[in-house]
Amino acid sequence: MPALKKLTSYAGPRGPVVLAIMDGTGIGKYKEGDFVAAAYKPNWEWLKQHAVYTELKAHGRAVGMPTDEDMGNSEVGHNAIGAGRVFHQGASLVENAINSRALFEGDVWKELVGNVTRHHSQLHLLGLLSDGNVHSHIRHLLAMLKEAHAVGVKTVRVHILLDGRDVSPQSALDYVDQLEALLKELSTDGCDYAIASGGGRQVITMDRYEANWPLVERGWKIHWRGEGPQFPSARAAIEKYRADNPAVIDQDLPPFVIVRDGKPVGTLQTNDSVVMINFRGDRAMETCRAFEEDNFTKFERGPKPQVVFAGMMQYDGDTHTPKKYLVSPPAIDRTIGEYLTASGVSILATSETQKFGHVTYFFNGNRLGKFDEKLEDYVEVKSDRVPFEERPWMKAAEITDIVVDSIRNNKHRSIRLNYPNGDMVGHTGVPLAVQISVEATDLCVGRLIEALKAAGGILILTADHGNADDMYERNKKGEVAIDPRTGHPKAKTSHSLNPVPCFIWDADGTANLRLSATAEKGGLGITSLTATFLKLLGFESPADYDPSIVDVG
């Protein structure tokens, strides 16, 4: 990797350049339900008066999703910012692979179905059941079921993780009914296709960054051992849990095991085939490890399952996890971190556990580890294991402590951090907590501003996608939907399609910052943050990076 060329017109600031990502904090379209706008944000308002400001696209094609109706998310957002240009992401790649039939004509799919037809065993499909298109899409699952039936697979068991996070909070039965209708249609001529287990994504299986292995263990027992509350159907389980707690949202629904004649229908057996259908890797990795590691120690798994296991994609190219996968991931290369280390620039990347992988793994193009051990410091703050609505401030202060220490002591030339608050708390659907989460972030931004004033640094304050800016469900007319049970607005827990803010502030004023001609026209996406960051450090960006937001010098 060659070193970057230096600008002739500007050598960079006296202090560091800091990229602060306010996760899930967009610019709302409606006043009602916009808890970013409602929050008390004196530092945001100060920057509005003193910084260069614009708004950036953070969803749809601007971040590599199939259409502009698709939400952005933290994974693709950090991929985009780290890469500086758009790569087709998991949703697009899987959609294309299914439509072209490349997925079904590949060796891994043939091995999976060939294994079960040869041994008269079960094909298991595990993943998030929704059309949120952030971790998975029900359309992909339905296509795989139809194809399995077409090639003679007799027994299929589906293990469903309920969403309510990237889709409406209590929409699980909509997806269950779609799935059950197809399973019934396919269960003819000696075929037996059925839901075997399930539960809310925040309760079982979908942990990330090793924050809560007991959650994965709980899912292992439910899905593969059939150990848990028993029900005759997924609908019966969901209806019972909602009757017990009408306010519970899908992501928090307790787990369930489907039984016939008193026995679980879908426990894991030798010579079965298993597919993790999620295309996004962060919440799929731990399940892959449980299936693939010989000496697995995170919980009492028992002997390594003697099955054929595959993921929808390879979630980590460095560790080759999983070993078998149906669709090749995007080959993201020449990220900003690789260029900076080749140019001798010191780097700090920090967040709490919930988003630590985003400022490291995803930012580096789905790559574990560092480009240069001497130049890079990655600092993780351990997240609390409590509901986010109970700690809406999360670890913003501790993250800020780490960054302020670096700024004051001139430790790093380049700093990137993620405040998870607006996204993680936004997913809870609790308005007061969401507003407090935004205010907690703003309080910490004030500390960054003061530290950069003293050091003569530059701040880029932005977001990876929206969430806290759009917290109410709406009908087709744009009117707020009212929950008939409470009389209050119906909570929206998914990401928004709104643009995100971008403040660029030079403490010393020596950069002579102004919006570039391209930015003045509007329409730039968050991929343009990358060339901007390099320019502010005094470097020319690679020719194929998306254009900078500002001009300097």
Residues annotated as catalytic (active site), given as ranges: 74
Identify the bridge partners of residue 200 per DSSP, sorted by sequence position.
162
Tell me if 498 sits within 8 A of 37, measured CB to CB. Answer: no
* Token duo for residue 444: 């910490």
* Token duo for residue 226: 């059939």
Tell whether the torsion through CA atoms of 52, 55, 56 and 58 is positive or negative. Answer: positive
* Token duo for residue 4: 């970057």
Q: How far is CA 207 from the centre of its chain?
A: 12
Contacts for 257 with CB less than 8 Å, ≥ 6 apart: 196, 197, 222, 226, 227, 228, 229, 230, 231, 264
Residue that the structure tokens 């298991």 belong to: 124
Residues in the chain: 553
Tell me if 441 sits within 8 A of 7, measured CB to CB. Answer: no
* Token duo for residue 111: 């091995």
The Cα-based distances of 547 to 390, 515, 533, 535, 553 in angstroms read 41, 11, 11, 10, 16
d(CA 14, CA 330): 37
d(CA 253, CA 240): 10
Q: How far is CA 246 from the centre of its chain?
A: 28
